[in-house]
Amino acid sequence: MDRLLDVFDSTIKAVEKGQEEIFGIYETTRTEIQRLKKELDFLNTEIADTIKKVDEQYKKEKSLRYKLMQVNRDFKLYTEQQMLEVYNEAKDAQVELQLLQAKEMQLRTRRDEVERTLKNLNVTAQKAENLMNQVSIAVRLLKEGITEISQLSSNDQRKEVAFQIIKAQEEERLRIAREIHDGPAQSLANIVLRLEITEKLLAIDYQKAEKEIRDLNLLVRENLKDIRRIIFDLRPIAIDSKGIVETIKKYIRNYEKTYGIECSLNVEGVEKNVNSSIKVALFRLVQEGITNVAKHANSPKCEITLQFTDSLIKGRIVDYGKGFDIEHVFENPSEKFGLIGMKERIEMYSGKFSIKSVMGKGTIFAFELPTLNEEV
């Protein structure tokens, strides 16, 4: 048995190392994609500008060529110096035209190379992303097994739900990583670059540098707002300081702005000082519940009710959307995994849940969680 555990441990370590290397490839690829996109924008601008210059130079060269023909035809009317000047002008114009045409050709060739490279890198990034997902799922399966879902009736169902749980977790991790990479990380890199430029501007143009600093100040504030939002989605800090009700109210305000869905909260009883994990579980249930409404219900509004008693927290989320076939959902967990995840979260705390849904009329999701009061 010990030898078997050692084999599993070695396998997990090897897979995790490979996972890190894949993530490194993914990050490098995405960074290169961003760089090439900027280069492509620059090349397209340069090509447009060069084409304009080529057209102008062509007209100039054509005019000077015609003038040279006139001088050659009526050479008796011009001095030798005048003829030489016209010849040199025509020759210079022709050389300049050839240089511009060569530049245009080089820019077009480079643009085609960048576009091909970008296409290949996007394919590579997508493959790396998919591979990261698959490897992450494999690691989680090796580590966690399927003991947490033993209550399901068949091995096939256990494997399916285990796979869906882990897949959802890893997709969420990847979403957060991409959100940080594409948002704050890119923005901070831009801020660093602009700060370096501003530092040089201070000695040249103080007013321009001052304006740049004001712009960077606004950019930093926006960046900070994005970071706080990401942190809030991971684990709302306000839960500990302001309580679960205020935290949910804040989330609802953001939810209404994001999805344009009216959402009300009705609280019955007094919020208890409950176990920290219950607070987070309650927040996640509300978060996942109303997110499901936004994604699947096609409902103009949703209603949340929370009832606090000495031993229980009762919750209820109601929408007025299209509804669904409940039996079909639990027979096919991959199709409505949000509800399966909520069910798992509730049962983990020995809670209760129920779902009522009528096609064309909406859905009622109700649950109960024990308070598990903390010692004060």
In the chain, domain spans:
2-144, 158-234, 242-370
Residue 74 has pLDDT above 50, yes or no: yes
pLDDT band at 237 (very low <50, low <70, confident <90, very high): low
Task: Give me the helix-helix angle, 206-234 and 186-201, nearest 10°.
Answer: 160
Residue 376, pLDDT score = 35
Residue 103, pLDDT score = 87
Q: Containing H/E element for 362? A: strand 362-370
Segment of 26-30, 31-35, 209-213, 259-263 carrying the highest mean pLDDT: 259-263
Q: Could you tell me the end-to-end alpha-carbon distance of the chain, in angstroms, rounded to an integer?
A: 45
Residue 70, pLDDT score = 85
Mean pLDDT of 348-375: 84
Please, are residues 307 and 314 in contact by the beta-carbon 8 Å criterion? yes
- Provide the 10 A C-beta neighbour count for residue 11: 13
Mean pLDDT of 234-242: 63
Give which of 298, 309, 284 is closest to 361, Cα–Cα.
Answer: 298
- DSSP letters for 85-111: HHHHHHHHHHHHHHHHHHHHHHHHHHH
Residue 33, pLDDT score = 85
Give which of 88, 60, 61, 86 is closest to 71, Cα–Cα.
Answer: 86
Mean pLDDT of 26-44: 84
Q: Which two tokens stand for residue 349?
A: 């705390």
Q: Which residue has the higher pLDDT, 366 or 296?
A: 366
- The mean-pLDDT minimum among 5-19, 45-59, 310-324 falls in 5-19
3-state SS, residue 351 = coil
Q: Containing H/E element for 191? A: helix 186-201
CATH for 242-370, options being 3.50.50.60, 3.30.565.10, 3.90.550.10, 3.40.50.2300: 3.30.565.10
- The mean-pLDDT minimum among 190-194, 264-268, 333-337 falls in 333-337
Mean pLDDT estimate for the chain: 77
Q: Which two tokens stand for residue 261?
A: 């869905």
- The mean-pLDDT minimum among 21-35, 130-144, 303-317, 350-364 falls in 130-144
Please, are residues 79 and 122 in contact by the beta-carbon 8 Å criterion? no
pLDDT band at 368 (very low <50, low <70, confident <90, very high): very high
What's domain 2-144's superfamily in CATH? Answer: Helix Hairpins (1.10.287.620)
Q: Which residue has the higher pLDDT, 11 or 219?
A: 219
- DSSP letters for 307-348: EE-SSEEEEEEEE-S----HHHHHHSTTTTHHHHHHHHHHHH
Mean pLDDT of 54-83: 86
Residue 4, pLDDT score = 43
Residue 157, pLDDT score = 55
Dihedral angle, C-alpha 89, 90, 95, 99, nearest 10 °: 90
pLDDT per residue over 99-158, tens digit each? Answer: 888 888 888 888 888 888 888 888 887 777 766 666 666 656 555 543 444 444 455 555
Residue 326 has pLDDT above 90, yes or no: no
Q: Does the model's pTM come out above 0.85?
A: no
